[in-house]
Structure 1
C-alpha cells in the first residue's frame, strides 16, 4: 500500500477467519450488512474473552519453597464466561526463560452469570457506569494472608479459600443472607477475614462468614416501597456523579487493622459515606419495555443544579470473643468538611485510611474543579452522633484536621489515583507520593507536610469569635520534590512503591504519547526514569506488593493482546526486567484483517503534532477514490489513537474498510494524554475547535494518500463522538454529507454537573458557551437532504 509522509504501514499476519472482501463499495442488502455486523460481533467476543484481567500476586509456601501465585480472571477452556484462575511462578528457576504459564482453575465449574443474563437494576446500572461487557465473575476481594476469596456470582455472594495444602479446583460456598435484594460491593475485613461487609438496599451490613451471623449497620434508607422522593439517603454507596465522572465505585472503607482486647473481643472500624440526594432533581423516564411499570424514576443532577450532599462517618463495631456481633457505634465529624474552607469543596473524590490506620484521608474538590485539597483526619475527630458537637477546644494534632496538600488550576484538575503514604518517622511530619499537572503534564512528587498543632480545626459556629476565614485550613509543605519532569505525561493509574530500595514504579508515556510503559525512578535521588517494558507495544501492568514481579498485557496496532510475567532485577544501580513466563500468546489475527496505519502531521492552524489512524479499503486500487467515514470521539479523558490492538473495540471500523470504505480516526485538541494545554483548548467552548481539527486531518490525509473521495464523507461516533458527529454535519455540511450519531449529547444544559461544569462552568456563568456548544443551536444549519 502506498503511504504518504509521516505514515507507517504494517503488514498483518494471516489467520483463520474471513471477513467480507470487496475491492469497491457495492450497495449491500440489509441481510448482507447484518451478516457482516454479526461476524464482527462474534470476532470481538472471541478476542475479548481470551484476555486475562484483574491480577493479584500472592506468595505461598509449597513443599519446594515459596512460589509466586498469580490470580486473575479469564475464560477457561471452552467456557464462555470469566472465572477465577491462577498460575504459579517459580522466580528462582525460570528467570530468563519464556515458558508457557499454565492457567489453572481455582473453582469447580459453575454458572456465575444470572440466568439468561438478567441482572438486577442495581447491577445493571453499575455495569453501565463501569462500561462492563464481560460476564461471569467480574470482580473479587482477597485476604492475602489466608487466601480467602469473596466474589459476586449469579446475583449472590460466594467464598472459597486457596490453601497451598488444598487441592484445586474447589467448589465455592454461597454466603447465605436474610437480606432482600442484591448484595453489592462485598469486602473482607483486613483485621478479621471471617467478617465481610456489603451494601444491601443502600445500607451497610456485615456478616460472619463462619457462623452465618448477620447484622445491619446503618439505617439511612427506608426501602419498603418508599418513593424516590421520600427516600433520598444512602450509606456506603458513592453518589451517581462520583461513580460516573470520578470513577469511584465504593462508599465505604475498612480500617487496615483491628484492635483486639484482652478478653478476645475486637473493635473493627469502617469509614463510610452518607449520601443525601434530597435536593437532586428527579427525572421520570418512560421504560422502553413497559413490562414492570411505564415510568422509571431517577435522580439526575443537571448542569447548574444541586448535587447530592455527602458526609463522612465512622462505624465502630464490636466483635465478641465467640464471633458474635456486639455494640455498633456510629460517629460523625462535628461539622461538614466543606465548612472548613472558604472555597466550599463540593466533591469527595477519593478517601481511605493511611496504612497505619491512625488517620482517614480525603481528596476534596471544588465544584468548578479548579481547587483540590488533601486532608488528614485523626480518628479522635469523629465523635458519637449524640455527643455535644460544639465542645471542641483541644488543639493537639490528634484532634486537628490537617490539610497536607492543596492545589489550584486555571484550567481544571484531573483526578488521579497517585497517593502513597510512608510510615511516620517524625510525629510532626508525614510524607507521601502525589502527582500533579501543575507544569502542564502530570508528574510525580515526593511531598513532606508538617503536622504541627494549629488553631484551625473545628471551631464552634455559635461562638461570637467564630470567623470562617480564620478557620480555613492551610497546608504546610516542607518539601515537594519532582520525581519526573518534561513534556510527557505520567498516567493517572496506580503506582507501586518499593520502600526497601526507595523506588517508585509507574505507568507513563515518556517514549511516545502512543505507548504506555512501566517506568521506575528513585524517590530519594531522582534521575532519568528507566523503562522496564518492551517498546513497540502499549502495556497494561500490575505489580506485586514487594515490586519484585509484574505482569503486562500488551499489544500493538498489528499484534493482538498477549500477556507475560517479568521479574525485576537489581544489579548495582542498574534496574532491568527479565521474562519469567508467557501467560497468553497473541491470538492469530483473522484472515483479511488489515490493521490501520498510524499517521502524524503538524497542524498548520494550531502548531500541534496530530496523531491519527487510517483504515484503507481491502484490495485498494491505486488511484481510485473511495467514500470515507471519519470516526470521532474528540472529547476529554479519551485517547483513541495508540499503538495498541484495534481489533476488539474498533473492529467495526475494520468491517467498514472490508466493505469498501476509508475510515479515519484523529485525536484532536481536547483529547487525552497530550498535556493539559492540548486538552484544555475546549475549555468553555466545547463543540468548536474539535471539528476544525477533524476537517484539517481529513484534508491532510486526502492530499497525502490520494484515496479519499471528499464529496462522499460521513462522520460517526458515540457519546461525545455522537455529539461531534451532529456538530460536524451542522457546522461543516460542505465537508460531511452524512452523520451517524450514537448516544449524542444535544444540549450541555441537560448533561450532568460533574462532567459538564468541569469543562463549561455552569450555564449561568457561561451562557454563550452553552448556547454555541448546543446541537440545538445549529438545527437550522442541518442540510435538507
Structure 2
C-alpha cells in the first residue's frame, strides 16, 4: 500500500491573539493515502503512520533501538573496537542525512508585477552539501489559486560549478562559517534580473527572464585570477566589481572588458612586501566584527557617474605568523595576525568614479579623503561598518575605539574626497550641485563601561523631508542594559549652506568631526529583552517597524511589528513555540519564515502582510501563502525512528540569575538507572547553545553520544549571548575564571532534578572557547570532571587576536592579572596525573586558534609530567570540514568516552 503523508503547516489567519491561530495539515494522494488532521502541538512530530491502527510515535518517547540500525551499547556496558565504532558513526551520518530537511537560505525578492513576486534562495539539492540557486513565484492575487513551486534557476549539473575551491575561498568560508560549497552567495539586480555569483574560484553571470522555460544558461566571466565578492552596480547592471589578489577589478559584461581599478598588490610573492589590500577587510574585521565586504556601490547617482566606495587596508605593522601547510608548494603558509596588545591593521576610505562610453569603454578615476580617518577621528581603531545613505547623497561609517567602549556613527559628504580630476572624462566635467558639502558629522555616539557589540541594525528614512541637512534614522544600542531600537532625528550644520561637492565651502573644517544637533530621540522598543543584531524593516508609509527579537523568550527568535505612532504596542507575527529566521521584501508586503523547534525540522512558510482595520487592537494581519520548500517524505524515513528530544531546564543561581540548560537522555533510557554524563560546553560570549531550534547536524554528535548510553548536557552560563549587558559582562576581564563555577552549580541542580545523571562519571568536551573551558574544567576541578576532550583550545589570551581578546579582557598591559589568571598554561600543574583523562584535538592549519596554542600546552604538559592524548588533523583548519576527518574525530571522541567513562 502506498502511504503518503504530507504535513503542511499553514496559517490561514494569524493575529496577535494566539486564540485566533488556525493550523491545518493536508494530505494529498489517492484512496490509499491516510490524511491526518493535527494541532500545532502534534504537527511537530514526524508523521510516519503506515496504517490507521498503528500508534503515532512521539518524539520525546525514548526509542527501543535508538537511531542506529544496530542495538546500542551503553557506556560501560561493553567494549567496542575502533572499526565497529567507526562503522556505526558512518551509519549514523547516513541516517541523519535523511532526517534533516532542505532549508532555504539567503532569500531575496524581486517584484514582477503589482501582485507577483519572485523569491530567490540557496538550497542544497538532494542529500548533499552542494548549494545552488532556486526561485519560486508568489502570486498575491486572491483570484488566482496558484501553488508555490520552487525550481532551479541554473543547470546545476554544469561541471563548471563544481571544480573545487581555492585557498582564498576556503578562508572566506571559515570566516563566514559556511559549511556548504558550490554557490554559497549571489547578487541580484532586481529590475534587470541579472544575477552574479562566485563559484569554483571564478564568477558567473546569468540574466533570469520573467518567464523562464527551464534552467537559465549562465556564462563565466573568464579570468586567470581567483575572484571573490562580486557586486553589481545598481545604476548599470552591466558593470560588476570584484576583488582578486587584494585589488579591485571592474568588469563590463557587455564588452567583456576587465579593468584593474586599484594597484595595491605588488605580486612579488612575499607577504612581507605586500602589506596592503583594496576592498578586502582585514582578518580581525571579518572574524571578530563580521564585516566581510570591503567595497560599496553608490545606490543612486544624480550625475550619471557610477561610484564605488572602498576600504584600503595597510597591515604593514601587523606581525606575520607562519605554519606548516600541506597544500602549499613551499610547505609554509603565512598570515597577518595581530595578537593581543600588538598593532592592528589600519584602514582608510577611497572612492572610484566609473564612466563608460556607449556602455563599453571604462574610464576610472580614484579619489582619496582630504584628511585620513585617523586625522578626522584620531581616537578610533576599527572601521566596523560602512555604507551609503539610500539616496546616494552621503557616506556613513561606524568607528570604534581600541577598547571597544566608544562608537560613533559618522556621516561624510562627497566633498570629503579629492584628487584624480577627470582629465580623460568622456563628457565635460559633471555638475555636483546635487551633492551637499559639509564637515564630517557625528550623528550617534555610544559609550559603554563594558563593551559595545557591533550590529547591523541601522535604517535611514528615505521620505522624511526634502531638507538635505536633516536626517532621520533608527539605530540600536544597549544603553538600557538590553539592545533596543531608537529613533534619531538630527540636524547637520553645513557651513555656508549647500556647496558644490568638489569646491569646498570657504573655511570648511573638514578634518574634525562636528556633532550633529539632536532634534529628537525616542525609544521604539524597551523592556528586559533584546532586539537581535540582524533584521530590521520599515514601512515608512504606514509608520510600522518590523524587527527580530526575544520578547517572548530568550530562547526563541520571533518577528515583531510596532508602530511609530502607537508606541508600546508590540505584535508578534510568527508562530509561538518555534524559533524563526525571517526574510522580508523591501515594501514589507510579504515575508518568508524559516522556523523549527527542538522537535521539528525546519519549515519555510511564505506570508502576506496586510494593514489592520482602523482602531484595531493589532497593527497588521498576516495570511499564509503556502510553503516555500516542500518535499515529499523519503522512503528512507519509514525506516528511521525519531530522535530523542532534549528537555530544556531553567535554574536560578544563588546570585539570582536564571540559567537555561538542555538535557539529552540516552536513547535506551530506563527510569531508575544512572547514566554517565557528558557536558557539551562553550560558555563564552556571542554564542547561545540552548535555543528552541532544530539544529540538524550541529546536534549530530550529541545524538551520537545519546545513542551510545550517555546523557548530554549543555548550559548557557553567565557570559553567553542574548541575555543583556549585565548577564554578559559577568566575564569582563576574567575569562576562564568564573564560567566553570556557573556550570557546576547548574550541573548539581540538574543532578537533583534528573536523578539519572551520574556526576561521578562526568566528562566535558567543547571546541574553540569550549575547548578552552574543557581544559579549565579539568584543571580547576579535577575532582569533579573525570575526562576532558578539548578541541582547538586557546591556552593563553596573549596568543589570540586583538579584536576578540581586548573586547573582553582589555589590553594585556591594562589587565596583566586577568591574562595570567585566564591562561590554561598557568593551571597545567593542576591537571590529573592519571592516564586517559585528557584528549586534545586540533587542526594543524588552524588560522584562528593557531597550532602554537597546542604546541605550548604540550610543552607545559611534558614539563609537568602530565599524561595526555593528542589527535592532530594535518589538513584541517579551525572547523573540521572534510568528511573523513569528521568521521575520524567522532570515532575518536566516542571511543575515548566509551573506554574511559
TM-score of the two chains, using structure 1 as the length reference: 0.90
After superposition, the Cα gap between the structure-2 partners of 1:719 and 1:16, relative to the gap in structure 1 and judged at 3 Å, is closer
Structure 1 window deviating more from structure 2 (641-650 vs 510-519): it is 641-650
What is the CA deviation profile of residues 518-567 of structure 1, one whole-angstrom value per residue up to 9, with x for unaligned ones? 00111243222100000010000000111010001100011111111011
After superposition, the Cα gap between the structure-2 partners of 1:385 and 1:44, relative to the gap in structure 1 and judged at 3 Å, is farther
Q: Does 2:733 match 1:733?
A: no
Shift of 1:622: 2.0
Residue in 2 aligned with 1:561?
602
Residue in 2 aligned with 1:254?
297
Structure 1 window deviating more from structure 2 (370-379 vs 12-21): it is 12-21
What is the CA deviation profile of residues 407-434 of structure 1, one whole-angstrom value per residue up to 9, with x for unaligned ones? 1000000011011111351333110011
Shift of 1:47: 5.3
Residue in 1 aligned with 2:701?
652
Q: Retained in 2: the 8 A contact 1:341–1:473?
A: no
Q: Does 2:753 match 1:714?
A: no
Residue in 1 aligned with 2:862?
none
Shift of 1:58: 1.1
* Root mean square deviation of aligned Cα: 2.5
After superposition, the Cα gap between the structure-2 partners of 1:680 and 1:20, relative to the gap in structure 1 and judged at 3 Å, is farther
Residue in 2 aligned with 1:459?
none
TM-score of the two chains, using structure 2 as the length reference: 0.79
After superposition, the Cα gap between the structure-2 partners of 1:246 and 1:141, relative to the gap in structure 1 and judged at 3 Å, is same
Q: Does 2:635 match 1:598?
A: no
After superposition, the Cα gap between the structure-2 partners of 1:38 and 1:731, relative to the gap in structure 1 and judged at 3 Å, is same
Shift of 1:720: 0.5
Q: Retained in 2: the 8 A contact 1:19–1:658?
A: no
Q: Which runs of 5+ in 1 are unaligned?
A: 1-8, 261-265, 388-395, 456-465
1:431-510 paired onto structure 2 within 5 Å: 431-453=472-494, 471=512, 473-510=514-551
1:567-586 paired onto structure 2 within 5 Å: 567-572=608-613, 573=616, 574=618, 575-585=620-630
After superposition, the Cα gap between the structure-2 partners of 1:234 and 1:500, relative to the gap in structure 1 and judged at 3 Å, is same
Task: Work out the CA distance in 2 between the residues paired with 1:432 and 1:360.
Answer: 14
Q: Which runs of 5+ in 2 are unaligned?
A: 1-57, 423-434, 497-506, 835-901
Q: Retained in 2: the 8 A contact 1:111–1:154?
A: no
Residue in 2 aligned with 1:108?
155
Shift of 1:688: 1.6
Task: Work out the CA distance in 1 between the residues paired with 2:252 and 2:308.
Answer: 16
Given the alignment, which residue of 105, 124, 149 partners 2:195? Answer: 149
Structure 1 window deviating more from structure 2 (470-479 vs 763-772): it is 470-479
Task: Work out the CA distance in 2 between the residues paired with 1:42 and 1:257.
Answer: 50
Task: Work out the CA distance in 2 between the residues paired with 1:613 and 1:760.
Answer: 29
Task: Work out the CA distance in 1 between the residues paired with 2:407 and 2:92.
Answer: 44
After superposition, the Cα gap between the structure-2 partners of 1:255 and 1:43, relative to the gap in structure 1 and judged at 3 Å, is farther
Structure 1 window deviating more from structure 2 (350-359 vs 167-176): it is 167-176
Q: Retained in 2: the 8 A contact 1:432–1:447?
A: yes
Shift of 1:648: 2.4
What SS does the corresponding residue of 1:495 show, helix, strand or coil?
A: strand
Residue in 2 aligned with 1:332?
368
Residue in 2 aligned with 1:42?
94
Task: Work out the CA distance in 2 between the residues paired with 1:104 and 1:741.
Answer: 43
What is the CA deviation profile of residues 264-292 of structure 1, one whole-angstrom value per residue up to 9, with x for unaligned ones? xx4211100000000000111122x2661
Task: Work out the CA distance in 2 between the residues paired with 1:232 and 1:107.
Answer: 39
After superposition, the Cα gap between the structure-2 partners of 1:321 and 1:111, relative to the gap in structure 1 and judged at 3 Å, is closer
Q: Retained in 1: the 8 A contact 2:100–2:696?
A: no
What SS does the corresponding residue of 1:671 show, helix, strand or coil?
A: coil
1:78-93 paired onto structure 2 within 5 Å: 81-93=130-142
After superposition, the Cα gap between the structure-2 partners of 1:755 and 1:475, relative to the gap in structure 1 and judged at 3 Å, is farther
What is the CA deviation profile of residues 480-503 of structure 1, one whole-angstrom value per residue up to 9, with x for unaligned ones? 110100001100012111111111
Residue in 1 aligned with 2:319?
281
Q: Does 2:559 match 1:518?
A: yes
Q: How many residues align?
A: 740
Given the alignment, which residue of 60, 69, 75 partners 2:112? Answer: 60
Structure 1 window deviating more from structure 2 (747-756 vs 332-341): it is 332-341
What is the CA deviation profile of residues 307-355 of structure 1, one whole-angstrom value per residue up to 9, with x for unaligned ones? 00100111111111242112x221111222232336x111111101001
Q: Does 2:566 match 1:528?
A: no
Q: Does 2:69 match 1:22?
A: no
Q: Retained in 2: the 8 A contact 1:19–1:591?
A: no
Q: Does 2:348 match 1:311?
A: yes
Q: Does 2:284 match 1:234?
A: no
Task: Work out the CA distance in 2 between the residues paired with 1:359 and 1:167.
Answer: 42
Q: Retained in 2: the 8 A contact 1:55–1:542?
A: yes
After superposition, the Cα gap between the structure-2 partners of 1:233 and 1:436, relative to the gap in structure 1 and judged at 3 Å, is same
Task: Work out the CA distance in 1 between the residues paired with 2:198 and 2:595.
Answer: 28
After superposition, the Cα gap between the structure-2 partners of 1:121 and 1:147, relative to the gap in structure 1 and judged at 3 Å, is same
After superposition, the Cα gap between the structure-2 partners of 1:597 and 1:112, relative to the gap in structure 1 and judged at 3 Å, is farther
1:362-441 paired onto structure 2 within 5 Å: 362-384=397-419, 398-423=437-462, 424-425=464-465, 426-441=467-482
Residue in 2 aligned with 1:186?
230
Residue in 1 aligned with 2:181?
135
What is the CA deviation profile of residues 116-151 of structure 1, one whole-angstrom value per residue up to 9, with x for unaligned ones? x64211111101111111122111001000111001
What is the CA deviation profile of residues 603-659 of structure 1, one whole-angstrom value per residue up to 9, with x for unaligned ones? 12x211111110111222222111110001110000010111133211210110110
Q: Retained in 1: the 8 A contact 2:375–2:511?
A: no
After superposition, the Cα gap between the structure-2 partners of 1:673 and 1:78, relative to the gap in structure 1 and judged at 3 Å, is closer
What is the CA deviation profile of residues 32-55 of structure 1, one whole-angstrom value per residue up to 9, with x for unaligned ones? 221232234334555567111110
Q: Retained in 2: the 8 A contact 1:21–1:658?
A: no
Shift of 1:601: 1.6
Task: Work out the CA distance in 2 between the residues paired with 1:356 and 1:170.
Answer: 33
Task: Work out the CA distance in 2 between the residues paired with 1:700 and 1:324.
Answer: 71
What SS does the corresponding residue of 1:656 show, helix, strand or coil?
A: helix
Shift of 1:100: 5.9
Task: Work out the CA distance in 2 between the residues paired with 1:497 and 1:112.
Answer: 42
Shift of 1:167: 2.2
What is the CA deviation profile of residues 726-768 of structure 1, one whole-angstrom value per residue up to 9, with x for unaligned ones? 0000001111111001111111001000000000001111000
Q: Does 2:245 match 1:201?
A: yes
Task: Work out the CA distance in 2 between the residues paired with 1:48 and 1:404.
Answer: 46
What SS does the corresponding residue of 2:318 show, helix, strand or coil?
A: coil
Task: Work out the CA distance in 1 between the residues paired with 2:661 and 2:156.
Answer: 44
Shift of 1:599: 0.8
Q: Retained in 1: the 8 A contact 2:101–2:602?
A: no
Task: Work out the CA distance in 1 between the residues paired with 2:346 and 2:695.
Answer: 41
